[in-house]
């Protein structure tokens, strides 16, 4: 962090107060202050590790774990980076909760280092960098839930690395940084396709400042998207081999038409307040708005980049939330860039001679946002790790997916007593959790939505064809697709999944005879039906967390 001041004070109040001083004023280094901040970050890191090692995997995490066991180039739902993250962690720590989540845990400090260096290079003040890092720790999604592995967790460090490369470009004028930006941009796309929403910010970064003519003539600029495409090529190759399935899948989701409703808008905004912070979110939005004003008044490249990288996707999700449910993790790639913009804005405001009352107000609200956010993160951690209570009921976002070991244990028992050799289900969540808990000791097949499993290895057809199977489904899902296949279903009973004394779900078990599933049905088959997935999955995945916000 070349050129940064070395002083930082030991508490949040003093950090904000110091930011109000001129960055040119000589100050005595206070190393103990840096140690206090480092100790806080270390404690939060330990907390995330405990959280990751203790809590059961959620269904999507188990689903991504199943991807890590395959050699497919890509997948219908997402690019392959999340599978590679999980394979890396389980190669070190085995098929454990901590192993699955380890790479995500590692992504957090890497993201914080990149975030700090971005801010410090722009402001030349380590206090602003510390402020950005503390904002990330104080936001629930990052301070605790980065322990939950998801494609967004993989996307965040790579998007920050791309922005860091463009900041280095601004700082040095060295056109070769375009190549690094292209490389990291390709890795971001390999993590999640929503990285495409950063393209408008990069375009504005090129054309709004006065340097547009220089860069538009530079071969390095035009080489950057070629590098990104080359890095992204596994997804392109997989889609070319499978009729562009994942792009069509996402296009159906993005263009799905629904009636306008304020309920989904309220859910979207409520989730942002809950996952970023009830005070921190307005603080960040104000900081980004001022950064946007500064960007287009002074044509400052970094201000243009950061403000557009937040406002464009935030505005898009706001618009989409008028007609459909926006997933709980979808906007999470934008807020680290918002933290950077806010920290830079606060540092610049002191140098731009804003009125003193604005500086005092900013200090108060940022301080309140970080302090209250840290308290909230710790409280949520203690609720899930220490307390024995269930205050939220069936809508608890963690408990709602916990306790599946009970179902897996009952399934193993029924396999032994019924003579079945394989398990069938019609829900990817049940499929993923059974594979996770049984560790592939028994073939588990999702009989429908087979478009999810293109390129997957043979699950053991020799153990399936001509043998009895065990069918497991949620009781409330109603009639099975098997009813029209000629399969004979024999009821075996029900099993309940409980968490902290509350029944979270009930499953029916039936023995299957006289039928063998088709693992590669044609695209027009109801056992394939990838088009319907795009609309159904969005709503079903989102309901649990949205219900909490409405409460």
| Residue 330 in tokens | 């979808």
Q: Is 389 exposed, middle or buried (0-12, 13-18, 19+ CB in 10 A)?
A: exposed
- Beta-carbon contacts of 318 under 8 Å, excluding residues fewer than 6 positions away, are 265, 268
Asked whether residue 181 falls in the same domain as residue 33, the answer is yes
Between 482 and 230, the higher pLDDT residue: 230
Domain count, the chain: 2
- DSSP state, residue 529: -
C-alpha to C-alpha distance for 312 and 323, rounded to whole angstroms: 18
Q: How confident is the model at residue 549 (pLDDT cuts 50, 70, 90)?
A: very low
Within this chain, do residues 36 and 85 fall inside the same structural domain, yes or no?
A: yes
Q: What is the 3-state secondary structure (H, E, C) of 148-209?
A: CCCHHHHHHHHHHHHHHHHHHHHHHCCCCHHHHHHHHHHHHHHHCHHHHHHHHHHHHHHHCC
- Are 64 and 171 part of one and the same domain? yes
**Is 96 a member of any domain?**
yes
Domain-located, residue 495: yes
* Structural domain contains residue 230: yes
Q: What is the CA radius of gyration of the chain?
A: 25
Whole-number pLDDT of residue 14: 59
pLDDT given for residue 482 in this prediction:
83
Would residue 343 count as lying in a domain?
Answer: yes
Q: Are residues 430 and 341 in the same domain?
A: no
pLDDT tops 90 at residue 50: yes
Among positive and negative, which fits the CA dihedral 513, 516, 522, 527? positive
**Domain C-terminal end among 325, 356, 385:** 385
pLDDT score for 22 = 39
Q: What pLDDT, on a 0 to 100 scale, did the predictor assign at position 524?
A: 82
Cα→Cα distances 149→136, 429, 450, Å:
17, 15, 24
Tokens 């992204």 sit on residue = 232
Instruction: Give yes or no: residues 381 and 462 share one domain.
Output: no
> 343-353 burial, b if ≥16 CB within 10 A, otherwise e?
bbbbbbbbeee
Spatial separation of the C-alpha atoms in residues 448 and 529, rounded to whole Å? 8
Q: By residue range, what is the domain housing residue 517?
A: 399-550
Average pLDDT of the segment spanning 14-42: 62
| pTM for this entry | 0.90
Q: Which residues contact 308 (CB under 8 A, 6 or more apart)?
A: 200, 201, 204, 205, 292, 295
Q: Are strands 488-499 and 502-513 parallel, antiparallel or unpaired?
A: antiparallel
Using one digit for the tens of pLDDT, what is the confidence trace for 369-380?
A: 999 999 999 999
Residues 344 and 433 in one domain: no
Residue 457 lies in a domain: yes
pLDDT at residue 368 is higher than 80: yes
Do 403 and 380 reside in the same domain of the chain?
A: no
Q: Which of 507, 468, 540, 198 is nearest to 337 (CA)?
A: 198
CB 345 within 8 A of CB 114: no
Question: CB-based contacts of 528: which residues, under 8 Å, 6+ apart?
Answer: 448, 449, 450, 451, 521, 522
* Residue-wise pLDDT tens digits, 387-398: 999 988 888 989
Q: How many CB atoms lie within 10 A of CB 410?
A: 20
| 155 pLDDT higher than 90 | yes
What pLDDT does residue 531 have?
42
Model pLDDT, residue 135: 97
d(CA 523, CA 452): 12
**Do 350 and 453 share a domain, yes or no?**
no
Query: Structure tokens of 331?
Result: 């906007």
Domain-located, residue 390: no
Residue 54 binned pLDDT confidence (cut-offs 50, 70, 90): very high
Q: Which residues contact 499 (CB under 8 A, 6 or more apart)?
A: 390, 396, 399, 400, 402, 403
End-to-end C-alpha distance for the chain, whole angstroms = 44
Looking at the structure, tell me whether residues 163 and 134 fall in a common domain: yes
Amino acid 337: pLDDT: 98
- Which residue, of 385, 408, 429, is where some domain finishes? 385
pLDDT above 80: residue 67? yes
Percentage of residues of the chain with pLDDT beyond 70? 89
CA dist 542 and 252 (Å) reads: 17
Is there a single domain that holds both residue 73 and residue 200?
yes
- The answer to whether residues 223 and 352 belong to one domain is yes
> Does 392 map to a domain?
no
Provide φ and ψ at 489, rounded to 5°. Answer: -110, 125
Is residue 243 located within the same domain as residue 110? yes
Which among 363, 385, 407 is the end of a domain?
Answer: 385
Lookup: tokens for 323: 């007609």
pLDDT at 426 over 60: yes
Q: How far apart are CA 115 and CA 77, in angstroms?
A: 28
Q: How confident is the model at residue 358 (pLDDT cuts 50, 70, 90)?
A: confident
Domain membership of residue 183 (yes or no) is yes
- Assign 421 to helix, strand or coil: coil
Q: What are phi and psi of 208, to 5 degrees?
A: -75, -50
């Amino acid at each position: 962090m070349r050129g940064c001041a070395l002083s930082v004070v030991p508490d949040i109040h003093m950090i904000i107060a110091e930011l109000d001083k001129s960055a040119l004023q000589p100050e005595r280094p206070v190393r103990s202050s840096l140690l206090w901040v480092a100790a806080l970050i270390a404690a939060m890191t330990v907390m995330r590790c405990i959280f990751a090692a203790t809590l059961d995997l959620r269904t999507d995490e188990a689903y991504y774990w199943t991807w890590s066991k395959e050699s497919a180039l890509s997948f219908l739902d997402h690019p392959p980076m999340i599978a590679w993250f999980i394979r890396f962690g389980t190669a070190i720590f085995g098929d454990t909760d901590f192993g699955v989540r380890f790479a995500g845990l590692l992504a957090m400090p890497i993201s914080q280092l990149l975030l700090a260096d971005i801010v410090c290079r722009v402001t030349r003040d380590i206090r602003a960098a510390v402020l950005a890092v503390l904002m990330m720790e104080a936001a629930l999604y990052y301070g605790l839930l980065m322990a939950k592995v998801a494609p967004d967790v993989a996307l965040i460090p790579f998007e920050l690395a791309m922005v860091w490369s463009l900041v280095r470009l601004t700082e040095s004028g060295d056109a070769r940084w375009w190549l690094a930006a292209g490389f990291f941009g390709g890795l971001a796309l390999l993590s999640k396709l929503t990285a495409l929403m950063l393209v408008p910010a990069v375009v504005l970064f090129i054309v709004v400042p006065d340097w547009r003519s220089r860069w538009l003539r530079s071969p390095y600029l035009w080489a950057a998207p070629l590098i990104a495409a080359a890095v992204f090529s596994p997804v392109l190759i997989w889609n070319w081999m499978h009729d562009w399935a994942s792009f069509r899948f996402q296009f159906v989701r993005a263009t799905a038409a629904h009636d306008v409703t304020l309920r989904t808008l309220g859910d979207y905004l409520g989730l942002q307040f809950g996952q970023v912070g009830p005070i921190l979110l307005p603080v960040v939005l104000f900081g980004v708005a001022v950064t946007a004003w500064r960007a287009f008044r002074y044509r400052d490249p970094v201000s243009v980049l950061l403000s557009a990288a937040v406002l464009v996707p935030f505005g898009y999700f706001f618009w989409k939330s008028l007609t459909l449910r926006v997933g709980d993790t979808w906007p999470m790639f934008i807020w680290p860039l918002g933290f950077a913009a806010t920290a830079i804005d606060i540092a610049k405001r002191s140098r731009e001679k804003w009125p003193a009352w604005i500086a005092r107000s900013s200090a108060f609200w940022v301080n309140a946002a970080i302090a209250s956010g840290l308290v909230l993160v710790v409280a949520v951690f203690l609720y899930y790790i220490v307390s024995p209570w269930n205050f939220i009921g069936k809508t608890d976002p963690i408990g709602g997916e916990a306790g599946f070991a009970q179902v897996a244990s009952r399934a193993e028992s029924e396999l032994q007593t019924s003579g079945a050799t394989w398990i069938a289900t019609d829900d990817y969540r049940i499929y993923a959790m059974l594979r996770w808990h049984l560790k592939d000791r028994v073939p588990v097949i999702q009989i429908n939505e087979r478009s999810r499993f293109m390129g997957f290895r043979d699950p053991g057809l020799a153990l399936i064809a001509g043998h009895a199977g065990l069918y497991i489904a949620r009781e409330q899902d109603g009639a099975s697709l098997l009813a029209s296949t000629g399969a004979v279903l024999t009821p075996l009973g029900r099993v309940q999944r409980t968490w902290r004394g509350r029944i979270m779900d009930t499953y029916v078990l039936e023995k299957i005879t006289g039928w063998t599933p088709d693992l590669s049905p044609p695209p027009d088959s109801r056992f394939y039906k990838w088009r319907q997935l795009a609309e159904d999955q969005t709503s079903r995945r989102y309901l649990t967390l949205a219900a909490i916000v409405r409460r």
